[in-house]
Structure 1
């Protein structure tokens, strides 16, 4: 009986060691993948893109992102965020969601210009419902207006 217990314990220890070593080896990333990730992190505009993505997650809008474009320029970054709304979202709801995002975006000093484009499905095809562009001056004035008055500080405001 003692021999059986010793064999059982030996096998148990072997399985634990194999499991731990297999788990630790699976964590090691492919060196090429690590290099690609480092290259991305050093790409101009990548940090801003990730920040915008995190902001949409904070607003529970992460499934609504269609496109994020960040263009680095000498005076700051130009950002274009294209979002998908449901066909039932009103203009007021789009403005509220935009305003909540813009409040956070205004805190990002590296953004010189920000464009918001909202698309809605119409007859199974996406169409632009609202587009707004804000320069740095408009973003700095954001705290002085409500969501209903975004057009007054926007560089470009088009309701389609």
Structure 2
């Protein structure tokens, strides 16, 4: 098969997917990306919400108690660099958690909508707080 024939076959297969199949496909792609980026098992959960032909995705990640905001921004950047290529994603939210006083606490929340993801190649990790559509640094990270 030629490349264009393969691409057309893939597009036809995606078009015939049910919402549940699309959700599973996206979940598998994201799991593969996270596992490729990190040696340790840091993914807590993936939540997928269908929106028309695309999906809003929330990925909850576990950080160690000794990570800084800079380290989390670098880790998020590396993940988002790969995730931006997943066509099925509308919005992506990364939620970072870490142990605070023996309780797993959300410490950083970053959201990029599909428009911000398109421009992602033009930013560095330092730009994430301003380039994201939603950025919350929670108190324990201060």
Mark yes or no: TM-score above 0.5: yes
Provide the residue aligned with 1:158 in structure 2: 136
Cα displacement string for residues 78-97 of structure 1 (whole angstroms, at most 9, x for unaligned residues): 00000010000111110001
Partner of 1:45, secondary structure, is helix
Residues in 1 aligned to 2:39 and 2:64: alpha-carbon distance in whole angstroms = 11
Residues in 1 aligned to 2:92 and 2:122: alpha-carbon distance in whole angstroms = 18
Cα displacement string for residues 88-115 of structure 1 (whole angstroms, at most 9, x for unaligned residues): 0111110001000000111111101000
- Write the mapping of 1:139-158 to structure 2, written as runs, cut at 5 A: 139-158=117-136
Q: Cα RMSD between the aligned structures? A: 1.6
Cα displacement string for residues 17-57 of structure 1 (whole angstroms, at most 9, x for unaligned residues): xxxxxxxxxxxxxxxxxxxxxxxxx6331110011000011
- Write the mapping of 1:1-160 to structure 2, written as runs, cut at 5 A: 43-60=21-38, 63-160=41-138
Instruction: Select the structure with the greater relative contact order (CA < 8 A; seq sep ≥ 6).
Output: 2
Shift of 1:154: 0.9
Shift of 1:61: 5.1
Residues in 1 aligned to 2:51 and 2:107: alpha-carbon distance in whole angstroms = 28
Runs of 4+ in 1 over 6 A off after TM superposition: none
TM-score by length of 1: 0.71
Aligned length: 120
Residues in 2 aligned to 1:61 and 1:106: alpha-carbon distance in whole angstroms = 21
Give unpaired runs (5+ residues) of structure 2.
1-19
Larger helix fraction of residues? 1
